[in-house]
Amino acid sequence: MRFLRQSLTGLFLLSLTLGVLFYAGVTVKQAIDARMARETRMPQARERVFAVNVVKAEMGNEAPVLTAYGEVQSRRKLDLRAAVGGEVIELAENFVEGGQVEEGQVLLRIDPADAAAALAKAESDLLDAEAEARDAARALALARDELKAAEEQTALRERAFRRQQDLRSRGVGTDAAVETAELAASAARAAVLSRRQAIAQAEARIDQAATRRTRAGIARDEAARTLAETELRAGFAGTLSEVSIVEGRLVSPNERVAQLIDGSALEVAFRLSAQGYARLLDDQGRLKPVPIRARLDVFGVGLVANGHVSRDSAAVGEGQTGRLVFGQLDETRGLKPGDFVTVEIDEAPLEGVIRLPAGALGADGTVLVLGEGDRLDAVAVELLRRQGDDIIVRAKELDGREVVATRTPLLGAGIKVKPLRPVGAAASDEPEMLELSDERRARLVSFVEGNDRMPADVKTRLLGALEKPMVPAQMVARLEARMGG
């Protein structure tokens, strides 16, 4: 009985399951048939509208600024070298790295003992040469007196010879007396020749004495110059660099001991493209002395030096492009030779131009402007300059119209947009300021005061800025980056 009851129960459950499955199949089939019989309805197409930022184009005058990068260098740089060799016996107190020296200041002295001895010997040789010249002059005077006496003796001998000839012609004198007088006259003439030769020798002696005295004078001057060169003096006022000597060291001739740099005669050397260089030329092709600014950003505090373009290089240089231009700096507080600075060059103002964001210009040289029905139109413009994140263009039909500030690949002519116009005043150009806590301010002040590599004037400027209630955020960020915090 139990088996029969369990069999009937299983059969009932199986029948119930099959019935449920059949009902589910019929329901699904009815739903599919109803969906297939339903009329197809196309969705309504809607135009996509993009939101864009627009700016108003206003025509006016703009003064472009040409930006370049260059290195500060000194127009006067002198290698200090020892003219003579020897032991350094004295050094100036400020003969150190970074020492400030004045023009004509004695920087070091080399042991002058050998140079002084050489000068004394040269002066003694000069005295000997002068004594020899005086002796030669006296000898020449005596030789001339002797010549005069010999000539008088010759005249007497000639008269005696003529008298003997006259006596012989009258039959009073003899031939022997005539020959004796003739021999005496000849000897007298020979004595005159000998005295003339002595005068020539005395004159030659005077010339030799003069030459000797000149050579002795040259040797004395050279010895005096060598003695003077034992002192090394500053050729101009400046700052010492690359000092490589201490007191007591032996130096060799022409050895470089330091370098003297004139910190008040600084200039900046920067390279421009050929196009930018051409804009700085006048009608005659000469470089115009346009004003420049050299800017060095130090811990958020900018060091700025004003100047003007002074000259350009004679050649481009092997492997280089563009033009190397030099600018003379008038105010160089805080700048040092070797600083890498940003150079800003003021160009001539452009009239009838428009300044726009750089993202408004497309690759095809057009900008998108807002037209009727908030649809975009493409307007061709002439690109004149790029100024950082802005561009300066010229297009008369653009004046007063609204231009898309940033183009994307989805935007083009005919696209409908939703313009987003700036609300209220423009963003301030002032740097972001922070109010520091006492602990944070003290930590920054301690870091600045303990930094020995920072220039004194920059340190003073930073400390002055940190004392104020509001401090530039950029300066704080840079200081904390250097601190590692």
Judge whether residue 120 has pLDDT over 80. Answer: yes
User: What pLDDT, in 10s, does the model give residues 76-114?
Assistant: 888 899 888 888 888 888 888 888 899 889 899 999 888
| Cα(376)–Cα(363) distance, integer angstroms | 17
Kind of pairing between the strands at 382-387 and 433-435: unpaired
Q: Per the structure block, which two tokens stand in for 477? A: 């960020």
Contact indicator for 344, 292 with CB cutoff of 8 Å = yes
* Number of other CB atoms surrounding residue 169 within 10 Å: 10
Q: Per the structure block, which two tokens stand in for 291? A: 């004003």
User: What pLDDT, in 10s, does the model give residues 142-160?
Assistant: 888 888 888 888 888 788 7
| Cα(476)–Cα(485) distance, integer angstroms | 11
Domain topology for 350-420: 2.40.420
Contacts of 348 by beta carbon, 8 Å cutoff, 6+ apart? 63
State CA 371 to chain mean position distance: 52
Domain 76-108+235-261 has CATH 2.60.120.10: no
| pLDDT given for residue 428 in this prediction | 44
Architecture of the domain delimited by 114-228: Orthogonal Bundle (1.10)
Judge whether residue 195 has pLDDT over 70. Answer: yes
* Number of other CB atoms surrounding residue 362 within 10 Å: 16
Q: Per the structure block, which two tokens stand in for 166? A: 């006259």
Kind of pairing between the strands at 106-110 and 366-370: unpaired
| Cα(44)–Cα(57) distance, integer angstroms | 38
Q: Is 375 helix (H, G, I), strand (E, B) or coil?
A: strand
Q: Per the structure block, which two tokens stand in for 294? A: 């050299």
Contact indicator for 407, 362 with CB cutoff of 8 Å = yes
Per DSSP, 365 falls in state S
Q: Per the structure block, which two tokens stand in for 195? A: 């005295």
Catalogue the E-assigned strands of 34-167. Answer: 50-56, 60-62, 65-74, 77-82, 86-91, 100-101, 106-110
Q: Average the pLDDT over 298-308 and give the result.
A: 77
| pLDDT given for residue 425 in this prediction | 38
Triad 119, 124, 125: Cα angle to 5°: 95
* Matching residue, tokens 């002032």: 430
Contact indicator for 411, 376 with CB cutoff of 8 Å = yes
Handedness of CA 321, 326, 331, 332 (dihedral sign): positive
Nearest C-alpha neighbor of 181 from the set 166, 195, 196, 160: 160
User: What pLDDT, in 10s, does the model give residues 402-431?
Assistant: 899 888 888 888 888 888 887 643 444 456
Q: Per the structure block, which two tokens stand in for 200? A: 């020539």
Q: Average the pLDDT over 292-311 and give the result.
A: 82
Q: Average the pLDDT over 327-355 and give the result.
A: 86
* Number of other CB atoms surrounding residue 168 within 10 Å: 15
User: What pLDDT, in 10s, does the model give residues 253-297?
Assistant: 888 999 998 888 899 999 998 888 888 888 888 888 889 999 887
